[in-house]
């Protein structure tokens, strides 16, 4: 088995030579910027609510104002956060080597985009965008909704909801397919800051390995998909990525 320094050096060399690199990021990466994970955010006032009440269509329909207020608080936290050195290392790598890096993220914030990776594949949506709860037959613009908790269409009464994937919902059209293409086609996959507990995103590491990629997991603690990796490095995105990609 490699010593840690040797393993990191070998991984750096693989990344330097790779024609295609896919990086899957999870909640741990955003947590380093001060955005709590979904479970960690269930504190204080919110600790008495079941997650399904705050992140499901059924919960939203039962109490739209409650869910809207929950996401308003989370959005404020996202807007106050800044990209960390891990986000910036990925963006710098992408700028130096155009066309090599594909970022696939489970995170619903915009930190990758603000760091410079504007084309990141978002598996779980975008918390800063709204969409209609129901399909709008008139193709109304969500930006024209009447203010409220939540806003609604003055014409038909349709409610706005956050543009994130809730429990039991399908991923955004094309997002999973694009992520799978990136996983199958990469030479190296980095899995960063995720417990590997959320599917189908957790299956991307095994998919990449079966297709011939070298898979490394970067996480402070064990993940549920460590067995899919050639190498597991214990550390955070902000501490490990700048050295690997610099």
Strand partners, 130: 162
* 5: CB partners within 8 A, 6+ apart: none
List, by residue number, the catalytic residues.
124
């Amino acid at each position: 088995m490699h010593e840690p320094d040797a393993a990191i050096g070998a991984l750096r060399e693989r990344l330097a030579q790779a024609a295609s690199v896919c990086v899957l990021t999870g909640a741990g990466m955003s947590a380093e910027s001060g955005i709590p994970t979904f479970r960690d955010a269930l504190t204080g006032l919110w600790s008495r609510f079941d997650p399904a009440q705050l992140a499901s269509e059924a919960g939203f329909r039962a109490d739209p104002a409650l869910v809207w207020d929950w996401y308003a608080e989370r959005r404020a936290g996202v807007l106050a956060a800044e990209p960390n050195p891990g986000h910036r290392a990925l963006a710098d790598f992408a700028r130096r080597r155009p066309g090599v890096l594909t970022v696939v993220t489970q995170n619903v914030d915009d930190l990758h985009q603000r760091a410079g990776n504007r084309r990141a594949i978002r598996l779980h949506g975008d918390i800063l965008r709204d969409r209609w709860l129901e399909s709008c037959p008139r193709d109304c613009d969500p930006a024209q909704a009447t203010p409220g908790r939540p806003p609604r269409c003055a014409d038909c009464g349709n409610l706005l909801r956050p543009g994130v994937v809730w429990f039991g919902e399908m991923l955004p059209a094309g997002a999973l397919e694009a992520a799978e293409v990136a996983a199958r086609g990469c030479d190296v996959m980095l899995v960063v800051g995720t417990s590997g507990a959320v599917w189908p995103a957790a299956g991307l590491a095994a998919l990449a390995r079966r297709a011939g990629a070298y898979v490394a997991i970067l996480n402070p603690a064990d993940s549920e998909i460590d067995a899919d990796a050639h190498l597991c490095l214990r550390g955070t995105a902000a501490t490990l990525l700048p050295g690997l990609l610099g």
